[in-house]
Structure 1
């Protein structure tokens, strides 16, 4: 006769294998290489879909198909589509932040810095990142939930970009109001050119626009010195 208590009946929760997270407790993958790769594939697919098809045609099904993952995997990583769009915004901002810092890290003359910033921004026109961000910003007008989801990230990035501009061009003699006004004009010009290319693609006089913008900025700085 066996001694001791009888074994418990029913399904028991199996302890996770050594080195593996308990997903039921974690709720999300714990950053494994495979999990992160799938997440990045979904973000990249969302950016491409927004850029190629627009916000209205960017469905979660299309994103999963473009990413080459199942609907279940998409749901697992981004249960709410708004979470995916927020990740898209954060990913694009991080790329822009890194590129801008690298381009202006070695500070040269003011002209060189202005031209470097313009060239960097100009090269971004029409890229998937730029078009995806435009689509999301336009979509916020009719989607309060989207605005709540990505609006704070966009405002925070713009505030950070303003501070970076003030820091990088602090030696120009321009006040913060002038510098931020020039940055606003710069952003508006590039955004307008990107939108124009959608319905009426044409060759943009890149060097001419760069020279005119640089001359405007330097002329303003010269008058303030």
Structure 2
């Protein structure tokens, strides 16, 4: 009978420490906002020493960007799994927009907005966030390209997706500042009708 390993390897401990720091960073961004999120607070929440934190992330900007990547990777897996179960035809279009809204209106949106606003006056953070933002857009496009199959031409799919992403980002920001939920729901339904009309024209 093989012996049961009870001790974690150094790599496993390192990965656990890194994940704890990233999860704590996301929690701080959502609860406290970027300005009040300090490295000290992140370390305290993660139960990690400053020395251990600096071993993984040398600057605050590096930590913040890695946290957004960490959250994005997690949400990408969730969206990918959900996109695989989207129904065919017209229902795929409306359910896909609902899926985008669910993904962008939660923790990802809150954390990302905090960082995007801070990046306006923080050159290091801005430079680090740009490739993450581009990767997020490309990965989302790929997910929906795979889900849509050959229903829509590539250029049409990309245009509709980018418009949808920017709409849900704006609606997520509206929710953060206390906008009306009924108005957001109405705008989403209007956009679904617009996309369905375009989908029928192009795919039909």
TM category (shorter chain) comes to 0.7 to 0.9
2:119 corresponds to:
140
Normalising by structure 2, report the TM-score.
0.81
Moved more, 79-88 or 119-128: 119-128
- 2:71 paired residue among 73, 92, 117: 92
For 2:64 and 2:34, the matched residues in 1 are separated by: 10
For 1:139 and 1:110, the matched residues in 2 are separated by: 41
For 2:94 and 2:160, the matched residues in 1 are separated by: 13
For 1:119 and 1:43, the matched residues in 2 are separated by: 27
Larger-gyration structure (1/2): 1
Contact 1:103 1:117 in 2 (8 A): no
1:113 corresponds to:
92
For 2:178 and 2:61, the matched residues in 1 are separated by: 31
Normalising by structure 1, report the TM-score.
0.75
**Which secondary structure state, in structure 2, belongs to the residue aligned with residue 150 of structure 1?**
helix
Greater share of helix residues, 1 or 2?
A: 2
Contact 2:29 2:111 in 1 (8 A): yes
Instruction: Answer 1 or 2: higher relative contact order, Cα 8 Å, separation at least 6.
Output: 2
Q: How far does residue 47 in structure 1 lie from its aligned partner after superposition?
A: 0.7
- 2:157 paired residue among 168, 179, 202: 179
Cα deviations across residues 101-156 of structure 1 (Å, max 9, x unaligned)? Answer: 11121353223322332232322355322211121122222222112223222212
2:30 corresponds to:
51
For 1:87 and 1:30, the matched residues in 2 are separated by: 21
Q: How far does residue 44 in structure 1 lie from its aligned partner after superposition?
A: 0.7
**Which secondary structure state, in structure 2, belongs to the residue aligned with residue 55 of structure 1?**
coil
**Which secondary structure state, in structure 2, belongs to the residue aligned with residue 31 of structure 1?**
helix
Alignment gaps of 5+ in structure 1: 1-19, 21-28
Alignment gaps of 5+ in structure 2: 1-6
The two structures, once aligned, show a CA RMSD in angstroms of: 2.5
Change in CA separation of 1:162 and 1:126 when aligned onto 2, cut-off 3 Å: closer
Change in CA separation of 1:123 and 1:204 when aligned onto 2, cut-off 3 Å: farther
Change in CA separation of 1:115 and 1:31 when aligned onto 2, cut-off 3 Å: farther
